[in-house]
Amino acid sequence: MISAQAAGGEPTTPALTMTAAFEGIEGSYSHAVLDAYATRRGVTFVPLGCSSYRAVAHAVLAGRADLGLLPIDNAIAGTIREGYDVLAEYALDLLAEITWRMDHRLLGVAGATLDGLREIDSHPVVLAECGRFLGSLPDVRRVPVPDTGIAARDVAAAGDPARGAIASADAATRYGLIELANTIADHPENFTRFILFRAPDARGPATEFEPAEDFAIRKTSLLFTVADAPGALGRCLSVLGAHGLNLSKLDSKARLGVTGQSTFYADVDGDVRDERFAAALRELRDVSVMVHVLGTYDASTAPARIRRAPAIVVDDRPPVVPVPAKVAFPKAQRQGEHARSRVMVGNVAVGDGAFVVIGGPCSVESREQIIATAEAVAAAGGQMLRGGAFKPRTSPYSFQGLAWEGVALLAEASRASGLPTVSEVMSIEQVERMAAAVDLLQIGARNMQNFDLLKAVGKCERPVLIKRGMAASIDELLAAAEYVLSEGNPNVILCERGIRTFETATRNTLDLSAIPVLRERTHLPVLVDPSHGVGVRRWIAPLCRAAKAVGAHGLLLEVHPNPAEAKCDADQALTFGDFARIMDELEQIPIA
Closer to Mn ion by CB, 28 or 531: give it: 531
Q: Which stretch binds Mn ion (CB under 5 A): 58-66, 113-121, 444-452, 565-573?
A: 565-573
CA distance 55 to 57: 5
H/E run at residue 141 = strand 141-144
Instruction: Please list every residue from 379 through 418 that binds ligand PEP, using CB under 6 A.
Output: 388, 392
Size of the site for ligand PEP (CB under 6 A): 9
Q: Residue 524 gets which letter from DSSP? A: S
Which of 397-405, 439-447, 481-489, 512-520 is the region at the interface with ligand PEP (rule: CB under 6 A)? Answer: 439-447
If DSSP codes are grouped into helix, strand and coil, which group holds residue 364? coil
> Is-contact 125 171, C-beta < 8 A?
no
Q: Does 434 bind ligand PEP (CB under 6 A)?
A: no
CA dist list (Å): 194 to 7, 72, 100, 246, 310: 23, 6, 8, 20, 23
Verify binding: residue 467, ligand PEP, rule CB under 6 A.
yes
DSSP output for 284-320: HHHHSSEEEEEEEEE-TTSPPEESSPPS-----PPP-
Nearest approach, Cβ of 514 to ligand PEP (angstroms)? 14
Q: Is 573 in the site for Mn ion (CB under 5 A)?
A: no
Contacts for 372-377 with beta carbons within 8 Å, 24 or more apart?
Answer: 372/561, 373/413, 373/559, 373/560, 373/561, 373/576, 374/413, 374/414, 374/416, 374/417, 374/419, 375/416, 375/417, 376/559, 376/561, 376/576, 376/579, 376/580, 377/417, 377/419, 377/559, 377/579
| Least Å from the CB of residue 324 to Mn ion | 38
Which among 9-17, 341-349, 452-460, 562-570 is the span making contact with Mn ion, rule CB under 5 A? 562-570
Please report how close the Cβ of residue 471 comes to ligand PEP at its closest, in angstroms: 12
* 351-410 residues near Mn ion, rule: CB under 5 A: 362
Nearer to Mn ion, 66 or 569 (CB): 569
Q: How far is the CB of 422 from ligand PEP (least distance, A)?
A: 9
CB 573 within 8 A of CB 558: yes
Residue 497 near ligand PEP by CB under 6 A? yes
Tell me how far, at minimum, the Cβ of 428 lies from Mn ion, in Å: 22
Among 468, 569, 578, 580, binds Mn ion (CB under 5 A): 569
User: Which range touches ligand PEP (CB under 6 A), out of 2-10, 148-156, 442-450, 516-524?
Assistant: 442-450
**C-beta closer to Mn ion: residue 24 or 388:** 388
Q: What is the nearest approach in angstroms of ligand PEP to the Cβ of residue 520?
A: 23
Tell me the window of 181-189, 265-273, 444-452, 583-591 that interacts with ligand PEP (CB under 6 A): 444-452
Q: Where are the beta strands (DSSP E) in 444-491?
A: 464-467
Interaction partner, residue 253 (Mn ion, ligand PEP, none; CB < 5-8 Å by kind): none
Taking CB within 5 to 8 Å according to partner kind, which of ligand PEP, Mn ion, none is near residue 497?
Answer: ligand PEP
> Taken in order 325, 329, 330, 335, is the CA torsion positive or negative?
negative
444: contact with ligand PEP by CB under 6 A: yes
Minimum CB separation from Mn ion for residue 388, in Å? 7
Q: Looking at this protein, which amino acid is placed at residue 323?
A: V
Residue nearest to ligand PEP (CB): 444
Q: How far is the CB of 39 from Mn ion (least distance, A)?
A: 56
Q: Which does 479 bind (CB under 5 to 8 A by kind): ligand PEP, Mn ion, none?
A: none
**# of chain residues touching Mn ion (CB under 5 A):** 2
Q: Closest distance between Mn ion and the C-beta of residue 375, in Å?
A: 21
Could you say whether residue 462 binds ligand PEP (CB under 6 A)? Answer: no
Largest CA distance in the chain: 85
Q: Select the binding partner of residue 392 from ligand PEP, Mn ion, none (C-beta < 5 to 8 A, by kind).
A: ligand PEP
d(CA 342, CA 134): 12
DSSP states along 42-80:
T-EEEEEEESSHHHHHHHHHTTS-SEEEEEEEETTTEE-
CB contact burial 510-534 (16+ within 10 A = b; e otherwise): bbbebbeebbebbbbbbbbbbbbbb
Q: Least separation, in Å, of the C-beta of 324 and ligand PEP? A: 31
Instruction: Show contacts with ligand PEP in window 353-382 (CB under 6 A).
Output: 362
The DSSP result for 167-189, as a single string, is E-HHHHHHHT-EEEEES-SSSS-
Which C-beta is closer to Mn ion: that of 173 or that of 398? 398
Q: Binding to ligand PEP by residue 445, rule CB under 6 A?
A: yes
* DSSP secondary structure string for all residues of 222-291: EEEEEESSTTHHHHHHHHHHHTT--EEEEEEPP-TT--SEEEEEEEEES-TTSHHHHHHHHHHHHHSSEE
Residue with nearest beta carbon to Mn ion: 362
Q: Is 562 helix (H, G, I), strand (E, B) or coil?
A: coil
Q: Which is nearer to Mn ion, 35 or 569 (CB)?
A: 569
Torsions phi, psi of 385, nearest 5?
Answer: -115, 130
Give the one entry of Mn ion, ligand PEP, none that residue 444 binds, where binding means its C-beta sits below a cut-off of 5 to 8 angstroms depending on kind.
Answer: ligand PEP
Q: Which does 42 bind (CB under 5 to 8 A by kind): Mn ion, ligand PEP, none?
A: none
**Binding status of residue 544 toward ligand PEP by CB under 6 A:** no
**x/- binding map, residues 500-539, to ligand PEP, per CB under 6 A?**
--------------------------------x-------
| Beta carbons of 56 and 328 less than 8 angstroms apart | no
Q: Are strands 163-167 and 105-108 parallel, antiparallel or unpaired?
A: antiparallel
Closest approach of Cβ 524 to ligand PEP, in Å? 17
Considering beta carbons, is residue 258 or 403 the nearer one to ligand PEP?
Answer: 403
Footprint of Mn ion (CB under 5 A):
362, 569
Footprint of ligand PEP (CB under 6 A):
362, 388, 392, 444-446, 467, 497, 532
